[in-house]
Amino acid sequence: MTYCVAIKVEQGLVLTSDSRTNAGVDHIASFRKLQVFEVPGERVIFVQSSGNLATTQSVITLLQTAIRNSERHILNVPTMFDVAEIVGKTARQVIKRDEGQAQGVDFSCSLIVSGQVKGEAPRLFHIYPQGNFIEAGEDTPYFQIGESKYGKPMLDRVVNFQTPLDRALLCSLVSMDSTLRSNLSVGMPLDVIVYKSDSLQCGGIVRLQEDNEMFRQVRNAWSEGIRQVFENMPSYTAEICAAQPESRSSGDK
């Protein structure tokens, strides 16, 4: 599986993706699930992908090919909405191409498309396997794809549109940590992009390896912190437990 999360806040975008792909537990590999397309100063587009790797690689390649060969492509359409539409249409084409041979294989994929075109604010879209899509607003400033449930409670509690960029990144790393701990199919290294609104260029993908000291500190501080919270919670439940029948001695039957 995969876990990708994208957060859109006032100051910009924070994107985090794991890199593990697997077809069964003994066929594990590491692939980039976060791609950048840009015309510095004019637009920058990020695509995160989950689902069938053959499908998502085809989608990325077709988007790149279209930039060279087509009249209309993601680097020249006027808005991020048009970009999302092109990506959705491309995903639909690839899935349609392959699904005839199904034989129980799931060819579907989910994508998160985000970025900024000059003249617009940064935008964030979730593209479904059917090729249709939704856009994040201020009420729900994040999207997740892949193994999203383990890491969702943290996002629900902490992130909103006003969260500063570095705290949004910290939250997405904590969310990633919960997922890594509970699900073997999500694995290091992580790819991270922090995009500042109106910079209109990508400073590069930050890759956090297994031994990354910063991420190790985040994981330890979080783990230790919530253990402390739990340990310091009063024994609210002692009353329920005290009310239960005690062990029966052999005589009281």
CB of 77 to its own copies, least distance (A): 20
Positions 27 through 56 that interact with its own copies (CB under 8 A): 41
Q: Is 61 or 217 the residue whose CB approaches its own copies more closely?
A: 217
Stretch that binds its own copies, among 46-54, 62-70, 78-86, 171-179 (CB under 8 A): 171-179
| Residue whose pair of structure tokens reads 């383990």 in the numeric block | 150
| Binding-site member from 10, 93, 128, 167 for its own copies (CB under 8 A) | 167
H helices of 100-247, in order, are 152-158, 165-182, 213-232, 238-242
Stretch that binds its own copies, among 62-70, 91-99, 107-115, 236-244 (CB under 8 A): 236-244
CB of 233 to its own copies, least distance (A): 5
CA atoms within 13 A on the CB side of 226: 9
Q: Does residue 156 interact with its own copies by CB under 8 A?
A: yes
Q: Does residue 121 interact with its own copies by CB under 8 A?
A: no
Residues 98, 56: Cα–Cα separation, whole Å: 12
| Residue whose pair of structure tokens reads 């400033």 in the numeric block | 141
Q: Tokens in use for 74?
A: 């993601």
| Residue whose pair of structure tokens reads 């859109």 in the numeric block | 8
CA-to-CA separations, 67 to 64, 75, 83, in angstroms, rounded: 5, 7, 12
Site track for its own copies across 201-220, x = CB under 8 A: xxx--x-------x--xx--
Q: Are 42 and 28 in contact (CB under 8 A)?
A: no
Running DSSP on this structure, what letter comes out for residue 138? S
Q: Tokens in use for 106?
A: 């799931």
Q: Is 166 exposed, middle or buried (0-12, 13-18, 19+ CB in 10 A)?
A: exposed
CB of 228 to its own copies, least distance (A): 7
| Binding-site member from 150, 176, 187, 190 for its own copies (CB under 8 A) | 150
Please measure the distance between the N-terminal and C-terminal CA atoms of the chain and give it in whole angstroms. Answer: 54
| Binding-site member from 76, 158, 188, 207 for its own copies (CB under 8 A) | 158
Q: Does residue 103 interact with its own copies by CB under 8 A?
A: no
**Which helix (H) or strand (E) element contains residue 147?**
none
Residues 167, 158: Cα–Cα separation, whole Å: 9
| Binding-site member from 149, 162, 209, 210 for its own copies (CB under 8 A) | 149
CB of 57 to its own copies, least distance (A): 27
Stretch that binds its own copies, among 18-26, 89-97, 106-114, 156-164 (CB under 8 A): 156-164
Binding site for its own copies (CB under 8 A): 41, 147, 149-150, 152-154, 156-158, 165-167, 169-171, 173-174, 178, 181-182, 192, 194-203, 206, 214, 217-218, 221-223, 225-230, 232-241, 243-248, 252-253
